[in-house]
Each structure stands twice: as C-alpha cells, then as structure tokens.
C-alpha cells in the first residue's frame, strides 16, 4: 500500500510561456497498457496530458521549478509523484537527489512513463469515490487534472465539499480541470 503522504503529492505548478519541448513521436502519443487499463483512449489521454504540460512547463522536458523549486520535467513531478508513478509501473524509483533530478529532466521517455504511472495512482485511489467512479471518462480526466495539481486527497475534498484548493503559486486546482474541459470542448464543440 502506498503511503498517505505520497498520495497527497501535487504537481509543481511551474508557469512557463517560452521554450520548445524536445518532443519525439513516442512522447507525443500514448498507447500504453497503463492508459488503456484506466479505460482512457489515446486521443483523450493525449489531450489531458498536453493540457497539463502546457500549464506546468510549456511542454519543456528539461526544466526544474514549481513551489520551492521541488519539481521536475514536462509535468513537474515531485519526489512522491515519481515514487507513486514508479510503483504503479513496477520500475525502480528514479530518486530525487540533485543528480537523479538532472538525469530525470534529461529523460523524456521516463517522464512520460512516470506521468502515466502517477496518473494511474491517482485514478486508482479516486476510483473509491463514487462521484469519480461514476463520471464519464472525460470528466475523470478533468478530475485527474485537479489531482495532478492538488493531490488525490485535494481532488476528493473538492468533489465532496466543492471547496477549491490552490497551489503555491495561487493557481486554483480548477484551472487544470477547466483547461482540460476547454480542450475537449475545442475538439467536440
């Protein structure tokens, strides 16, 4: 069982407007068994992850930032998110030492994998919440965007109370849900 503090991991919230992501074809698409195990199709999952990466890093892999400069990469994953992601992937935790963080930022494939693993962790935890479990797949991805920013516990609290949480930059968790919903609306007006 994953430690409660790991399940509360939040995204870094780095706000970047410049920079070009070093994106390869494998990083742009997802056909992972992990994604399909959550019931998401590749197109919707790619919309979800692109909306998150735009907010977190402007799509840049080799970047550190976030609250207290504690987060790394395109999706601004912190130590606990990397641990959760690795656990759900069945791979070794890449660590969060200065050298490990530098290596992580230079490895787009690992960032994509750990983002999927961290999303699977949040999805698994949230499936115990009837509102999440009974939502459409697109709504689940919107809620997972909130969880990326506020942690799964923050997402559960938001679903239960309606009270919106904010990250260290003052960004509402709903900024993530709204960005993902807007991306879906743009696809299917």
- The model's pLDDT over 104-142, given as tens digits with 9 standing for 90+, comes to 999 999 999 999 999 999 999 999 999 999 999 999 999
Q: Is the pLDDT of residue 100 over 70?
A: yes
- pLDDT given for residue 68 in this prediction: 86
Q: How many CB atoms lie within 10 A of CB 29?
A: 13
The pLDDT assigned to 86 comes to 97
| Helix%, strand%, coil% for the chain, nearest 5 | 60, 5, 35
The 3-state DSSP class for residue 165 equals coil
Residue 164 in contact with residue 173, Cβ under 8 Å?
A: yes
pTM here is 0.83
Burial (CB count <10 Å: 0-12, 13-18, 19+), residue 146: buried
């Amino acid at each position: 069982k994953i430690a409660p503090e790991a399940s509360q991991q939040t995204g870094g919230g780095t706000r970047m407007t410049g920079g070009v992501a070093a994106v390869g074809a494998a990083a742009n698409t997802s056909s992972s068994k992990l994604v399909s195990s959550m019931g998401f199709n590749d197109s919707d999952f790619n919309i979800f992850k692109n909306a998150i990466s735009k907010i977190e890093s402007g799509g840049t892999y080799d970047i550190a930032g976030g609250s207290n400069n504690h987060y790394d990469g395109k999706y601004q994953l912190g130590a606990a998110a990397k641990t959760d992601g690795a656990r759900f992937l069945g791979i070794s935790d890449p660590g969060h030492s200065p050298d490990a963080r530098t290596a992580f930022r230079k490895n787009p494939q690992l960032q994509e994998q750990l983002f999927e693993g961290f999303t699977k962790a949040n999805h698994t935890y949230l499936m115990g919440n009837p509102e999440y479990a009974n939502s459409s797949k697109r709504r689940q991805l919107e809620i997972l965007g909130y969880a990326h920013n506020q942690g799964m516990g923050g997402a559960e609290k938001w679903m239960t109370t309606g009270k919106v949480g904010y990250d260290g930059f003052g960004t509402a968790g709903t900024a993530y849900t709204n960005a993902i919903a807007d991306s879906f609306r743009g696809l299917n007006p």
